[in-house]
Amino acid sequence: MSATAPLALPPPPPVQSDWALFLDVDGCLLDFADAPEAVVVPEGLADALARLSRALGGALAFVSGRRIVQLDALFAPLRFPSAGLHGLELREAADLAHVPDAAPEALRQARDAAERIAAGYPGARVEDKGIAIALHWRAAPAARASLEATAAAALAQLPGYRLQYGNCVVELRPAHADKGQAVQRLMGATPFAGRLPVYAGDDLTDEDAFAATNALGGVSVRIGHREPTYATHTLADTAALRAWLSEAAARLGARA
């Protein structure tokens, strides 16, 4: 991956009606919060996404580290096609989901160990995602070294797992899926097939999706200034992404 200066990347073009739009959620569509359950969906965003989805013939999906059930709760009553747990869960339509297997015992032991450490750092969080766990230190930076060491030690007991680093978080999760594979799978399904893929994300976990989107001839949009990146375009922050989407919802929705 080659480093690219933030100012060298252009903003994305206006959303077009023949696109398939894939959106990361935390740190991209929504602002980060100290705890995953504390994020806020800004007023008007769900309505804009619903109008934009209709204008795209339903070809709008979330691709997130969250579980699909969490995405549904955030945007209820809307249910978009979604990839959860970095692609381990996949719902190609509003009513069909592929759910991963149960967590191994070694992961439950790692969770318990991480929770004991987090208890000593007010603000540190252990997020149980079923088949994966996420160790958060956004509100407790001093916990980072201990939580990272716990995750690394647990990895040795979890064949087929990997460490996934993100923004103030490390996850223990199965290695057989990523966001790039999720984009590829969704692009093979109705209503995404035959459209131009466009992916927006902010984190290291989104680089696989940027690379997959580029390989399909699409548009990859980095939110923020993290480097290096495979992204071909950039927007400054979550507010800029939401404004870009709202403009598209108003423009394309008026034609639908």
Q: Above 90 in pLDDT, residue 36?
A: no
111 vs 126: CA distance, rounded Å: 7
18, 24, 34, 47: the active-site residue: 24
The percent of residues above 90 in pLDDT, for the chain, comes to 85
Sign of CA dihedral 243, 249, 252, 255: negative
Beta strands in the chain (DSSP E): 19-23, 60-63, 82-84, 89-93, 96-98, 125-128, 133-136, 161-166, 169-174, 196-201, 219-223, 233-235
Query: For residues 221 and 202, is the Cβ–Cβ distance under 8 A?
Result: no
The percent of residues above 70 in pLDDT, for the chain, comes to 93
Q: Above 60 in pLDDT, residue 132?
A: yes
Mean pLDDT of 196-209: 96
Query: For residues 240 and 234, is the Cβ–Cβ distance under 8 A?
Result: no
Residues 6+ apart with CB under 8 A from 78: 46, 49, 50, 72
What pLDDT does 6 receive? Answer: 46
Q: Tokens at residue 198, please? A: 């466009």
Q: What is the mean pLDDT of the chain?
A: 92
Distances (CA, A) of 98 to 25, 59, 161, 185: 20, 18, 19, 12
Mean pLDDT of 74-90: 94
pTM comes to 0.86
Active site residue 206: no
Q: Above 50 in pLDDT, residue 5?
A: no
What pLDDT does 8 receive? Answer: 84
